[in-house]
Chains A and B, each alone.
Chain A
Amino acid sequence: MNKRKDVMILDDEPIVGERLRPALEKKGFYVETFTESQKAMRRLEEKKFGVLVTDLKMSGPNGIDVLSYVKKHSPQTQVIMITGYATIEAARAAEVIGASNFITKPFRINDIVKLVVQAAKKAEQSLAPDRT
């Protein structure tokens, strides 16, 4: 499977994954959803994803922790942060650590799908040299 098409959704509210999964699958993405950041990080150890969509505020490791982890272990993975608790500080922290985008709730499904498509393209570009 093409890695750029693999998307992980991490949000402690199951409804987020439930609503995003069908929309992304319709666009041809393979989607895995998680509600616990520990489990998600373990999965990230096993498999490289093209795009990670993660909530910012979660119990256990939060979105910033997950972002730092991903950037250390899989720098080509593009990370999109989603949150209903956005602050300037959090948005800039995500940016400086390496998130490719930051979107605040409430948002429309189409908005996030567009961002995932863009991020997947970027992930593909960063993977391109590896394929030779």
Chain B
Amino acid sequence: MPLIIVSCSSYDCRKELAEDLAKKTGFQCLSREELVDEANSSGIPVGKLEVAVIKAPVMKERLARLKQCYLSFVTARICESLKNGNLIYHGRAGHLLLPGVSHVFRVRVLHEKAYSVREVMRRLKLDREKAVEYMEQVDKDVDSWVRMVHGVDPNDLSQYDMVINLEHMSLPNASAALCQIMELPDFGPTPVSLKAMENHRLTAQARVKLALDERTSSADLSVSADDGVITVRYMPRQADVAEAVPGICQDLEGCKEILATMAETNILWIQEEYDTNSEVFHQINEVARRWGAAIELLRWMPTESETDETVGGDSGEGMNLQVQTDTEEDVGRIEYTGGIEDDVEEAPPLPDGGVGSTTVELVGVGRSGGSQTVYGTRDKLLAAIRKDVEYSLAVIGNVYVSKPHAVQMRMTRDVRGFLQDRFKMPVIEASELGTRFLVGKRHFMRLLIFLAFVVGIYIVIFSNQMPILNFLGGEFHKHWPWLTAIAVAVFVPLVAYLYSTVTGLVLKLIQME
């Protein structure tokens, strides 16, 4: 069941090529535009995602969920269409939808500018100048959209199996050439690629069903499927969704088993300002990935005295902002309003210290454990840490940022000790993340050096057993017993230190810490 995906920055060009190809091959033809219409009709407001590159979205977290839902919908529909036979799909960034499936033939078409301008002039009844202006603007927007949704540069031609330049080749000839190439065994299905496709289908269908069901639509779920087994991982704070998951997914074709599992662990990240480009973000993300953990953001704006606690806050309770607030735009509404919502009084948005954008990134990788902001003293911070969640690690990043560096260090250490005394979880400072949990080049060098010492000691001991036994219990020991005792007292802890360091680093290397 060949699948050909045609991408081109010109809608008219890719449509004409795909339709010509479909006519020549007898394959079905499906466009992104058809799927976007279907998605809209199914209650997925794709329009919000479309224009997010033109008008900055207000709720970035909601947009991140919408992105996942849209991608899953399109992937699911392509896979479903393939059940009815071979398919030609044409649409924006379609080539990025089914990674790891080798029997997808990904084609990029570079359109003839003059042709595209003519088509735009005809379709939109524009003069040439306006048509060119329109095309250039759309090209820029589409590039930004692909970067936003897929995180890649759409103009990187290495993503495609073939690039056709229509500046010097007619469209019918290009389609004839594609007919020949798609027959190559390189693009034929294999058991591995068919299985990968099937896993994509089941994963995408499960995601769509979960996103459209009101019981699970606002949960941060990580969904995967393998060989008919759907695994849905939810965050500890959303444990109530677990019961609904099997009922929602059970009717999916090819589903043999549904596993709803809670994220194994939670990492609590306490900081004043978050930045997705910071090293700490990448390090915590890496640790969370390895542990299968969710990351909960606790933005703490410390104040030194109780009288300072009103800074930016709105109540004496400390907590004033919960990010998980999906409301009226959630899919699956009961009363139809024609897309026009009643007005709702909203508080003006407060500066969120990067919490919003960080949460968006975490939602995108399925590791968001929620977020909250707290203003006040250490006691307020303590009160904000949830007692019903088993944290396996708390990381304190930049807090007391307005203080001089030395004071900031001391106060951060104090907070660490304060939390350590009150919770069972390990509490570390962000600067320790790299050394404690991640393996870098420095760790690798350290492992090699320590390993060399350990091996050296073993070689020395086992190749000099007689002198060593003499030293420990023979003639030497009789004359200098105190020296033997001192040597053992020094040597044994040294070996233990070297050995434990090597073991720790090896475990860290194989992600078993």
- Interface pick from B43-51, B172-180, B256-264: B43-51
Instruction: Let me know if B337 and A19 touch, CB within 8 A.
Output: yes
Residue in B37, B40, B48, B344 whose beta carbon sits within 8 Å of that of A108 in the complex: B344
A residues touching B (Cβ–Cβ < 8 Å)? 11, 13, 15-16, 19-20, 64, 68, 82-89, 91-93, 95-97, 102, 104-110, 112
Chain B: CB-nearest residue to A89: B138
Instruction: Let me know if A96 and B51 touch, CB within 8 A.
Output: no
B residues touching A (Cβ–Cβ < 8 Å)? 11, 33, 36-37, 40, 45-48, 50-51, 53-54, 124-126, 130, 133-134, 137-138, 141-142, 145, 328-329, 336-344
Instruction: Let me know if A96 and B137 touch, CB within 8 A.
Output: yes
Instruction: Let me know if B47 and A93 touch, CB within 8 A.
Output: no
The distance in angstroms between the C-alpha atoms of A19 and B133, with both chains bound, is 36
Instruction: Let me know if B342 and A85 touch, CB within 8 A.
Output: no
A112 — which chain B residues lie within 8 A by C-beta? 340
Across chains A and B, which 6 residue pairs bring their CB atoms closest together, nearest first? A105-B339, A86-B47, A15-B338, A104-B47, A110-B343, A106-B339
A110 — which chain B residues lie within 8 A by C-beta? 343
**Interface of A, helix, strand, loop or mixed by DSSP:** helix
The distance in angstroms between the C-alpha atoms of A40 and B343, with both chains bound, is 28
Question: How many A-B pairs fall under 8 Å by CB?
Answer: 98
**Interface of B, helix, strand, loop or mixed by DSSP:** helix
B11 — which chain A residues lie within 8 A by C-beta? 89
B36 — which chain A residues lie within 8 A by C-beta? 85, 87
The minimal Cβ–Cβ distance linking A39 to chain B, given in whole angstroms, is 19
A68 — which chain B residues lie within 8 A by C-beta? 124-125
A93 — which chain B residues lie within 8 A by C-beta? 124, 134
Instruction: Let me know if A106 and B329 touch, CB within 8 A.
Output: yes
Residue in B40, B54, B124 whose beta carbon sits within 8 Å of that of A84 in the complex: B40
Instruction: Let me know if A11 and B40 touch, CB within 8 A.
Output: no
Instruction: Let me know if A85 and B37 touch, CB within 8 A.
Output: yes
Instruction: Let me know if B338 and A88 touch, CB within 8 A.
Output: no
The distance in angstroms between the C-alpha atoms of A92 and B134, with both chains bound, is 7
A88-B145, A96-B134, A96-B137 known; A107-B33 Cβ under 8 A: no
